[in-house]
A and B are shown apart, each in its own frame.
Chain A
Amino acid sequence: MTVTRPETEVAPAASVSPSNQPPKRFRLSNWDARYTPYLIIAPFFLVFGIFGLYPLIYTAWVSLHDWQLIDGNQGFVGLANYVELFGDAKFWNALFNTLSLFVLSTVPQLLAALGLAALLDRGLRGSAFWRAGVLLPNVISVAAVALVFAQFFGRDFGIVNFLLGFVGIDPIDWRAETWASHLAVSTMVMWRWTGYNALLYLAAMQSVPKDMYESATLDGAGRWRMFWSITVPSIRPTILFTVVTSTIGGLQLFAEPALFDPGFAANNSTGGSDRQFQTLVLYMYEKGFRLFDAGYAATVAWMLFVVVLLVAIVNFTLTRRIAGKG
């Protein structure tokens, strides 16, 4: 459906201001300097247009119709799908789950990544080993991670319940309770993405000028103070970047909750017996690919796009303010 991708930063084009009447031999190079940058970035926009913009618009078009997956267009219905969606308790439930999973996984994840990066930045022995190590969970296929975690969180024979038994906690049915399922799914997401974000932060931290720390040390600042007053403000752009990408990713959560649901391989992929962990994308999948109602699925997709946009804007403003304080 919609493919939302973060816009990669385009290298600033070399700006050349032409003088009034350039000699003839300079004209070609002038043209070159002026238009080549556009030519170079054109492929990105071309690909984005085909794989990003076109599906986005087409999805909007589909969402205005009664559209069956196999039989196609069954007639224009205007905003009827949207009206139905706003009154659909399953949609609001999926939205709640999506936001809850997003907060539960993203906030601790980014904080942990920040801490991890700070540790890695302190020049550990065998730093390459540790750095490669934190990226490892991200390299492993999400299906494999989900399979393993789904077993960890098994009700009858799962390791987590086994360990909880030692501290006197009764076995938890991880798929039956909303909060338990959200916790389990968030753990999967954190496991996969904390290391990746830590490496991004580490790269940014290493470009922070060392003399700033030296002068701060002379002023008698402690490690904690230096971290919050120098490191974090210095890597602000990277934090903003990770917040935006995690927002987009977190709100589009699909594979982890899908594979956590043992019913996914069978015919009922609703994300829990009472949709306890059905995210918006899972709901879209159910509507579009199990119930074959492409029009309604397109509507969910568009609402997801709007939600991502809204949350990204809020996040962007918030983090810019917070990170800008120091």
Chain B
Amino acid sequence: MSKRLVGSAAAAMVMVMVAGCGGGSQADGKIELSLGLFSDFGYDKLIEEYQASHSNIKIEQRKVKMEQHNTQLATQLAGGRGAADIVALEEGVVSQFRASKDKFVNLAEYGAKDLKDQWAGWKWNQGTADNGEFVLGLGTDMGSLGLCYRADLFAAAGLPTDRAEVAKLWPTWADYSKVADQFAAKTPNVKFVDTGRNVYKAILDQTEEGYFAKDDSYIAEKNDKVKTAFDTAAALGTKGQTGALEPFSQDWNVALKQGSFATTTCPAWALALIKAGAGDAAAGKWDVTTAPGGGGNWGGSFLAIPKQGKHPKEAYELAKWLTAPEQQKRIFKETGNLPSQPKVYQDAEVQATVNEYFNKAPVGQIFATSAESLKPTYRGTKDSKVGPVFATALTRVEQGKQSAAEAWTQALKEATDAAK
């Protein structure tokens, strides 16, 4: 059966490889640059502009789903061919690719270190290695944390609806759980939160060390913060207050449309996903406010340049331009992706930005405030291998297959294996 699949996959790979080989100088003398991206970076218009002002450059965007992007990039780096001239690395996997940094151009060779002060310090550091000597990628957006909620469902449960009032309900995640209890008592048919997994991830993203200490040693089993985050999320699951949904899946979209959950953790980039899933019918019903427990970062990417590309110099110039402050500001206005540069998110125009769909919430101000207070989590080299183990453990609790304690024990065992 799947031999056909294997066949077509092989054919697709051959095509990708052929396409990859085709890159480079064209007959008309133009330099072709390819950009390997996932989801929406908001580059469409910017690229047109760049091509107009650089008549010798032709740019091609390749967009695929994130998981596929990471897998493809890994095989392309292994095979030594086929990777785009510029590739996006998401914050969750950048540490994994950092371990193979010899496959990438050290952007410091082109003077990237001079740009350092543009970014928030932690964002810059995430994209570097060897104590800042090796610059792997230039930061694009970041994912400072907010909390989205359905004001109409809150009203039905007798809770306040004003975003400042709602923020006061939950200074901490323990308070958030109490609100969940109140909500469930009044509106048993609606789930308080979409998935325990995102609550868990949000809590963990508010700590400076998660699964790995800053020296890259594995500490999940002795880090109380991991256990606390897990227990908080698992308790919501055990009480049936979560929708047990796979985040951003088709089911998640359906649940959004049906209004079957009332809150969800939302980094800046998630607003667009909620809007797309909930549709026009829910316009003005969703609102966004401060997340419990302070600032945190989830997501955001970097632009890196694989060594196999033929035009690293030109690729660097393009990456530098795309991540420059002026462009980050424009991207925020168009897509809502939060700039990772303090000067930009402190900009008066960015601060004044409101999101019509989210009941005219002052998203610029909310996310920038969150960004100011955030202490990013150190991502270990094997973070992206360990994280999913805990996510599936929470799903088992939500599905009622295991108790929180059983799921935790199994997750620790699997995570220890994965971290080896």
Contact = CB atoms under 8 A, between A and B. Distances in A.
A274 B401 contact: yes
Interface string A287-321: 00111101000000000000000000000000000
B211 to A, nearest CB: 14
A180 to B, nearest CB: 11
B246 A266 contact: yes
Given A69-B75, A274-B392, A253 B251 contact: no
Given A154-B254, A267-B92, A273-B399, A249 B67 contact: no
A246 B3 CA distance: 10
B227 interface: no
B249 interface: yes
A201 B10 CA distance: 29
Nearest to B394: A273
A292 B66 CA distance: 16
Contacts of A269: 67
A154 B401 CA distance: 18
B93 to A, nearest CB: 8
B71 interface: yes
Interface string B357-400: 00000000000000000000000000011011001110110011
Contacts of B185: none
A270 B393 CA distance: 12
A69 B385 contact: no
Contacts of A3: 3, 6, 10
B3 A4 contact: yes
Contacts of A263: 246, 249, 388, 392
Contact of A265 (B65, B78, B244, B384): B65
Interface in A234-251: 246, 248-250
A181 B388 CA distance: 20
A140 to B, nearest CB: 12
Interface residues of A, number: 47
Contact of A268 (B71, B97, B391): B391
Contacts of B71: 289-290
A71 interface: yes
A268 B414 CA distance: 13
A interface secondary structure, majority: loop
Contacts of A82: none
Given A69-B75, A151-B250, A157-B258, A255 B2 contact: yes
Looking at B248, B249, B400, the one whose CB has the most chain A CB atoms below 10 A away is B249
Nearest to A1: B6
Given A270-B392, A273-B392, A71 B399 contact: no
B418 interface: yes
B235 interface: no
A266 B67 CA distance: 6
B388 A264 contact: no
Nearest to B246: A262
A264 B67 contact: yes
B2 A246 contact: no
Interface in B209-258: 243-244, 246-251, 254-255, 258
B385 A291 contact: yes
A270 B414 CA distance: 12
Contacts of A189: 1
B412 interface: no
A253 B2 contact: yes
A216 interface: no
B1 A253 contact: yes
A135 interface: no
A63 interface: no
Contacts of A227: none
Contacts of B156: none
A155 B250 CA distance: 12
A189 B399 CA distance: 25
Contact of B251 (A51, A154, A268): A154
A209 to B, nearest CB: 32
A252 B258 contact: no
A70 B78 contact: yes
Contact of B77 (A4, A70, A248): A70
B74 interface: yes
B5 interface: yes
B11 to A, nearest CB: 11
Given A69-B75, A266-B67, A248 B249 contact: no
A69 B66 CA distance: 18
Given A192-B1, A291-B385, 16 more contacts: A5-B3, A69-B74, A71-B78, A71-B99, A175-B399, A249-B1, A252-B2, A252-B6, A255-B5, A262-B250, A263-B392, A268-B392, A273-B393, A273-B395, A273-B396, A289-B74
8 contacts: A3-B10, A71-B78, A142-B5, A156-B251, A249-B2, A263-B246, A266-B67, A266-B248
Interface of A: 3-5, 51, 69-72, 142, 147, 150-151, 154-157, 173, 175-176, 189, 192-193, 246, 248-250, 252-255, 262-270, 273-274, 281, 289-292, 294
User: Which 4 pairs, one residue from A and one from B, show the smallest C-beta to C-beta distance?
Assistant: A249-B1, A268-B388, A262-B246, A262-B249
